[in-house]
Structure formats: C-alpha cells, structure tokens
Structure 1
Amino acid sequence: MFCLVSQFVSAQIIIEDEEEAQVVKTDSVDRTSSRKIDGVAAVVGDYIILDSDIDNTILQLKAQGASMEGVTRCQLFGKLLEDKLYAHHAIQDSIVVSDAEIRSAVDYQLQQFLAQSGKTMEELIAFYNKEDEKSFRDEMFEINKSNKLASEMQKKIIEEVEVTPEEVRQFFNKIPEDERPTFGTELKVAQIVIEPKASPENVQKAIDQLNQFRADVLENGASFRSKVVLYTDDKESIKTGGLYTLYRKKPRMVKEFRDVAFAMQEGEISEPFETEFGWHIIYLEKIRGQEYDVRHILLIPEVSQEAVNEAKAKIENIRERIIAGDISFEDAARESSDEKETKSEGGYLINPATQDYNFELTRMDPELYGQIQDLEEDEVSLIVTERGRTGNIKFKIMKVSDRVDEHVADYSKDYLKIKELALNEKRFKVIEEWQDEKIMETYIKINGEHRDCEFSSNWLKK
C-alpha cells in the first residue's frame, strides 16, 4: 500500500495548549465552520508538522521497501523539522518554484496512485479522508511545493562552496593512515556507437507532422499539452505534459534546445528543429526572470530495416579493422562514432560522478557493468545492441583499459576522489552552521512528547 506524506500547510488556525496543540482547518466556502484535523507536533516558521506526518513517513518508507531498522521516530521527526526549516527560508529568500511543474508532477503522481492501488478517484479520495478531488490535489500540491522549496534552499546554501588544493591536502593529511578510505578496482571504458539513420523522406514526414501540430494550436486553439500526451516520443515527459523548466545559469537539455527556447517570447511556439534525439517544437509557456517553463513535442523519424542492416554492417567492419590492427580503437571512434559526447574523446566515457575517465567497478551503473564485466584489458567486445534514451536502436562495441586494482587512497593518484570527500565535508559543515543560525532566528515550537527527543540539532533552543 502506498501512502502520502502529509506535510500540508494551508489556511489554518493553530490553537496552542500546554498539553496538546490541535489544528483546525478553516473551510474555504464557509469561514464559520471548522473541524479538528490532527495534533500539531511542531511549528517551524510558517509551516506545521502534524503528528500523523511522522506515521505517514514511516508507512511511505516501508511501502518503498526501505529498512526501518535502527531508525527512530525522533530521527524521522528531526528530518521533517529540517525540511520545513529549509522550505520556510526558501520563501524568505524569495526562491520561486514553478507552479506549472508542481501541478504536472501532481497529475503524474495521481495517475501512479490510481494504477498502484487499483482504486477509482472517488475511492482514493475516501481512503485519504478528503472532501473532494480539488482538496486532495491542493494538499498534494502543497506537499510537492514544500519539498521542492526545501530542495532548492539546500542547493542555494552549498552552491558556492568550494575547496582549495590546500584544503584538500589538509583534509587528507588529518586522516590516520590506518583509517584512509579504500577505493575499489577502477578502469576506463571506451565505446564506438553507430546509429541507423532515418531516410530524408521520413525526416520530412516528422517535420510536416510537427508543423501540423503547431498550426492546429496557433490557428484553431488546440491544446499543446494534449498533443504532447498523444504524440510525443519523449515518453518520460508525458507525465508532466512535456513540461521542462530551463535555467539560464544552469544548463539543462542539449544546447540546440536551449538556444531555441531562450530566443523565444512567452506564448510562442517554435518552428521544428533538430537535436541528437530527433525533431522538436517548443511552446514557451512562462518566463520568470532567469527561468523558462517550456513544453515540447519530440518526434523521432522512423528508421527502416535497411538502415538498421547498414548500421550493423558498418560497426562489424569497424570491429574487424580494429582487431586486425588497421586502426586503433580511439582513432576509429574519432572517425566513425555517432556518439557526440565521446567521439572527440576517442570513445572514452566520462564518469558523471567524478568528471574524469575512471570508473570504480563497485559504483558503476549496473547496465554498463554488465556490458564490460567479462572484458580483458584492451579486448574489443562483441557487438552490443541496445535502445537509446528515446527508444531508438543503436549498435556499439566497447573496450576497457588502464585497470587499477583495489587500493588504499593515494593523494596523487586519487586526488579527484579525495577532493570530492573534502568538498562533501565542507558542505556538511556549511549546512550545519546555516541550520544552527536559522534555528535560533526562526519561530519554532515543539509540542508534547516530541520535546523528549534527543535531537542532533538545537530544535529546543536550549
């Protein structure tokens, strides 16, 4: 059974009593009517935490398969206090989140709730003791918005935290030799990717269809969002109606997509344009300073079986040339690979966690590990057939090199990993200091038995 974490704050009257505080929710239609909702465990700034929030958090974690061994109610309560402190100060710092993005997330969550439970919307509303679908959606909206605000506040706190080489050296030197971390076996991974190409006729067919969508919206008032749900090949974005929020200072999406979006005016729909994923049109829904809410439709031109056969023959030929010694793997990648991210790097993949070429086997993506686990040093793999991020078929060959066995951390060899550890420690201290400061200047009231918790932070302001 799935559960909602009820972290809802709306138009509320907080009645405080020495023994127990209760929340009374004012009816939005009849301001004179009210009913008891739940006991108040805590107030943090403009937010409340209900007694039931802790229970719902436990139920949700269990529903997700998380182990609750060693986790206490007080620890979960402390985490809820932290989240509300972040959310409160996000509002104080004028951090804005996209209401459209939150509403789209709620739509998707409701679809998931209905699918997982097998209930109708009416049964779901009754199960969660809500008055109607609107109040249910409103509560989910506030939950999601609060969580998003908390997340953005945390990012803001640490976004400018950096470590100098001297700080990294000092961090490493203060670790006793017998306590230094051990890094698992590492290696580099390279690949050559060949993707079948759609015919010019099929490309034009996709462009024509996008132009039809565009005209139908602009000339006939059709819903862009409905067309996303019905036609887009970006299946992941269906849950949000094709919505993405772009930030000028934080690149998201590929460059071609950003260039088109940032050149548009609010309410415009772009002409069809191409990226590595296929052909798109963008509807610029809202501009909020440096943030752009855009919806897009992606169409991937159909690829013929003949093109698939040609691509497979091409990569077979490349593999034969490498094994025969006619060309190196790296030069073959630069010459022939269709993967832009790795082509200029001789086919070498960049580890997203460390931004270098080294992958630790124990932390490698399971799918990638499965593809290279049996390869010897500099051995060229058999041809791997897989689906790309948008479902398109592609062929690739792989190799591993520069294998380094498990070893105790070495400052010169493992500098980037040690730097990341030092940075994480500094970020933790910055967040800790921020929390200590904000707790003291924020209105916080802990009620009833919750005051007996042993908190890691000074929530009781003793």
Structure 2
Amino acid sequence: MKKILFALGATVLMATGAFAQAKKIVADKIIGVVGDRIILQSDVQNAIADASRQGQQVPENASCQILEQALISKVMMLQAEKDSLEVTEEDVEAELEMRVRSFIQQFGTQQALEEVAGKTVFQIKEDARASVKERKLAEAMQKKIMDGVKITPTEVRAYFDKIPKDSLPFYESEYELGQIVLYPKASRDMELYVIDELNNYKRQIAAKLTSFDQLARRNSEDPGSKERGGQYQINRNEKTWDPAFLNGAFRLKDGEISPVIKSKFGYHIIQMIQRNGDEAIVAHILRIPPVTDIEIAGSTAKLDSIRNLLVKGEVAFPVAAGKFTEDETAKFSGPFITGGRTGSSFVTIDELDKDIVTELEKLKVGDYSQPQTFTDPRGKKGVRLLYLRARTEPHRMNIKEDYDKISSLALEEKKYKTLETWLDKRIPAYYIMVDANAAGGTCPQLDKWLSRSTANR
C-alpha cells in the first residue's frame, strides 16, 4: 500500500447512497468482510459510477483503491466503537443535511436531484445514514491516531536529504499579491430603468403574454440558474443566501411573484413555485444595473487617493484594505489572493486571471499598481488596486526557500507511517475476508489484506 488516502477514498465510497441508480446490479456479492461488517461488489461499482457522474477523474485501479479504503474504514470504525469514540445522531443528521443541500445546489432543485438519484431525499438520507456514521467514526479514530504526530527540524532535514537530487521538484515564481476592490454604484436612473424592466416582466406574465420561465431564460443575469428558468431550492436557515432575497421569497404564497427586491447582487423578481416549511423551490430573474464610465471614474479616483496614501507610507496596506475593500472574500481570508490548490498566500501565474497577470508584469516587490477596471465572475464591474508584497524566483526545491513546503510533506509522510503502523497492529485483531478477484485486476495494495483473509487459508 503505497499511500493511504483515507479521507478521500472513504468519502467516495460513502457517497454511493446518494447517486446509486434505481437500476441496481442484479448479481451482487460480498467481496470483503471486516469483523461483522461487509463490503458489497455493488458498493465499489456504484462508487466508481457516481464519481464519473460527478466529473471526477477515475484512475485505472479505482476499484482496488476503493476496496482498500473500505477495508481501512471498517477497521477504524470498529476500533472507534471499541474505544467508545462518540458520534451523535445530530452529527450524522447534520452531515446528511449538508450533503443533500450540496447535491441540490449542484442540480438546482430537489426535484432534479431526485430524478437523477432515482429516489426521494428521504430515501437518499436513509440509504446513506449508516455509511455516514461509519465514516464519521473512522474519521474520529484517524484524528485520535494522528493528532499527536509532530515534526522536528531534524526530521524535516532528514526527509529532504532522502529525496534524490535529480528528483527535486522545480518551482515556478510565486507571488504574494494583495488587492483593494471597489464596486462602482450604478446611478439612480439606471436603477430605476432596471426596476421598470422587472415590473414590465411582471405585467407580461400577468397578461399571459409569456411565462416566468421564458423570461428568466432570456433575460436573467444569473448564470447559475438562467438555463433552469431561474430555479433554485432554498432554505430559510441557510446563511449562504442573501437575507433580502430570502425574506422576499418566504413572504410569497405558491405561484405568487414578488415585487422588485434589491439584494447585494442586483434587483430581482421572485416566483414561489412550492413551499414546504423552511424549504422552498423558487425561480428568480436577476438584473444588474449597468455602471457607466462616470461611476467607474469616481471609484478610480477614490482608489487613486488610497494609492497615494499607501505610497507615502501614511497607511499600511492591511489597514487600508480592511477599511476600504468591497471584496467579500477578504472578510474571511484577508486581502491577499490565496491559491485555490493550497490555500497559501503565495500563488502561481496560472492561479491568477489574465488581467492581473498583465498588470503583475509591471510591478516590482513593494509596488502598488494603478487602479484597473475588471469584471468579476458574476459579471459585476469593479476597480482594483494590486500590491505585490513578495515574489519568489524560479528555483529547484531547497531547504532554505521551501522549508514550510518540505515540513508539510515530511509531516504528511510521518502521519501516513503512523497510520500504517497502527493498521499493521490492528488488522490481526479482526476477522478479515477479501475476495482475491474482487477488484477485477492486480491489486498489490490488497496484499496485506489478502494475507490475513480467511478466504486464502
């Protein structure tokens, strides 16, 4: 077993309860047993099919990996029960609810999810309940095993020294880049123009000249719902939705269309399609009042004044960003752009949009860019100022420049070895059965399990 990817593998397997189709495999069989817990061939096959349906890359030996992860999960879950590690029903229900909401957001509505899954939301939850509890118990056991694992500078150096010099990775330049973002406000005339358009849509629907669905598909500026006729499944208690949008939606009766509502995204009309307590299916049409060159020039002038303060050293960048930026992500992650792959404040060129890259070529470390206009992923026009705090040169991995990266890698390896050692000690304590041909191919990572399997004795 070259690497244990417990969390990923278990998550993939445990997802089978949601998307396994109504058309099941006719001939099923038990391909693994740990203690009194079984693994079915359909579990592995459905996990692979579900991963493919969700657009995940499925490796050639996926069945081997998933079966291995299922075996690991069973051992850790059984040990968690022996050690009396607690997972409450509330924890399980919260996880199921979060998972279902994630699927609903992916497919747009509860109805669409149920059509894809071939079962109701209640059935999806019940089918996945036992496996979610197993996963959470296994995670609790993994946390108990790994929480105390630390790494010393000597171990970091030893890990680095073991890497063959011709195998050391080459790192491109990385940038620590901050930004202050302003979004120009549309003029009142433009806001009134958009409000009038939305009211006109309502009149057309009332006169039966067209439908809400048709207008949403033609005119809504929400790319996430436009192709579905503006439909979303929403929950009154979900904090991810704009409060004004939620409040406006839950005042409506089935079939009713709201007056024009203003949110942080723009202006909407909302139609209540179906409501059930705190859950509802709604459709909306979003219009964003366009900003003109006049408003953009005003935000540019404000950013230029902020830049002058920064250049003169009269205010520190984090202070200025905290006071002026209108970038929502800065509230949670700060004003520095973070890498999507690592979450680090150092990012590579390919993690930045092309307009930032163009501006970056003009900056030296410590420089502030001139204000530049841009359009965000929601189609909203803004103006931003960039600050290049640091830049690394292209280089081969070395202990001086990449200590943090090497330390993280060394710690992960130590955690992996700790987990492997733990498994080696625990596996003999359990009844193990593995079908040698279960994965349909050569699976060297199953060798240690096969050697313990009663099927081979």
Fold conserved between structures, TM > 0.5: yes
**2:69 counterpart (55, 69, 79):** 79
SS at 2:449 equivalent? coil
Corresponding position of 1:99? 92
Quote how far apart the aligned CAs of 1:188 are: 1.5
Residue identity in the other structure for 1:101: A
1:314–1:427 Cα change, 3 Å: same
Amino acid at match of 1:178: D
User: Unpaired segments of 5 or more residues in structure 1?
Assistant: 9-35, 198-227, 238-276, 278-294, 296-303
Q: Distance in 2 between matches of 1:336 and 1:41?
A: 57
**1:137-286 superposed matches below 5 A:** 137-194=125-182, 229-230=235-236, 234-235=240-241
Asked if structure 1 preserves the Cα contact closer than 8 Å seen for 2:174 and 2:349, the reply is yes
**Which residues in structure 2 correspond to 1:383-462 (within 5 Å)?**
383-384=372-373, 396-447=384-435, 449-450=437-438, 454-456=443-445, 458-462=448-452
State how far apart, in whole Å, the 2-side matches of 1:45 and 1:107 are.
30
The alpha-carbon deviation at position 318 of structure 1 amounts to 3.1
Q: Quote the Cα distance in structure 2 between the aligned partners of 1:146 and 1:105.
A: 17
Contact 1:86 1:153 in 2 (8 A): yes
Give 2:346's aligned residue: 358
**Which position in structure 2 is the counterpart of 1:19?**
none
The match for 1:65 among 44, 52, 55 is: 55
The secondary structure found in structure 1 opposite 2:438 is: helix
**CA, structure 1 residues 333+138, in 2 after alignment: closer, same or farther (shift >3 Å)?**
closer
- 1:122-162 Cα deviation digits (max 9, x unpaired): x778x57xxx8755541122233333333443333322222
Q: Which residue of 2 aligns with 1:43?
A: 33
Corresponding residue number in structure 2 for 1:380: 369
Which one is further off, 80-89 or 318-327?
318-327
CA distance in 2, matches of 1:119, 1:325: 51
What 5-or-longer segments of structure 2 have no aligned partner? Answer: 1-11, 18-25, 186-233, 244-263, 265-277, 279-288, 453-457
Partners of 2:165 and 2:347 lie apart in 1 by 24
Structure 1 residues 194 and 59: alpha-carbon distance in aligned structure 2, compared to 1, 3 A threshold: same
Paired-residue identity, %: 25
| Cα deviation, residue 53, structure 1 | 1.2
1:7–1:50 Cα contact (<8 Å) kept: no
Distance in 1 (alpha carbons) for counterparts of 2:349 and 2:314: 22
Letter in 2 for 1:43: V
Q: What is the Cα-based RMSD across aligned positions, in Å?
A: 4.9
Q: Which residue, 34, 47, 56 being the options, matches 2:46?
A: 56
2:391, 2:335 → 1: CA distance?
A: 17
Q: Cα deviations across residues 147-190 of structure 1 (Å, max 9, x unaligned)?
A: 33334433333222221111111111222322222222112102
Are residue 316 (structure 1) and residue 301 (structure 2) matched? Answer: yes
User: Whole-Å Cα distance in 2 between the matches of residues 323 and 370 of structure 1?
Assistant: 26
Q: How far apart in 2 are the matches of 1:120 and 1:179?
A: 46
Please give the per-residue CA displacement for 1:334-368, whole angstroms capped at 9, x wherever unaligned: 2464359979x995456697786433345x3xxx4
1:5–1:60 Cα contact (<8 Å) kept = no
Cα drift, residue 420 of structure 1: 1.2
Provide closer, same or farther for how the CA distance between residues 48 and 7 of structure 1 changes in structure 2, counting only shifts above 3 A. Answer: farther
Match of 1:33 in 2: none
For residues 352 and 329 of structure 1, the distance between their equivalents in structure 2, rounded to whole angstroms, comes to: 32
Look up the match of 1:255.
Answer: none
CA-CA distance at 1:372 after TM superposition = 2.4
**Alpha-carbon distance in structure 2 between the residues aligned to 1:114 and 1:349:** 29
Instruction: State the shift of 1:64 in Å.
Output: 2.6
Shift of 1:411: 1.2
Aligned to 1:205: none
TM-score (norm 2): 0.57
Shift of 1:48: 1.3
1:331 to 316, 330, 334: 316
Q: Secondary structure at the match of 2:39?
A: strand
Once the two structures are superposed, residues 305-332 of structure 1 have per-residue CA deviations (whole angstroms, 9 ceiling, x without a partner) of 99xx999835633325636985359735
User: How many angstroms apart in 1 are the aligned matches of 2:62 and 2:392?
Assistant: 41
Q: 1:379 to 1:137 in 2, by over 3 A?
A: closer
Verify the 8 A CA contact 1:334 1:346 in the aligned structure 2: no
For 2:346 and 2:390, how far apart are their aligned partners in 1?
9
2:201 corresponds in structure 1 to none
TM-score by length of 1: 0.56
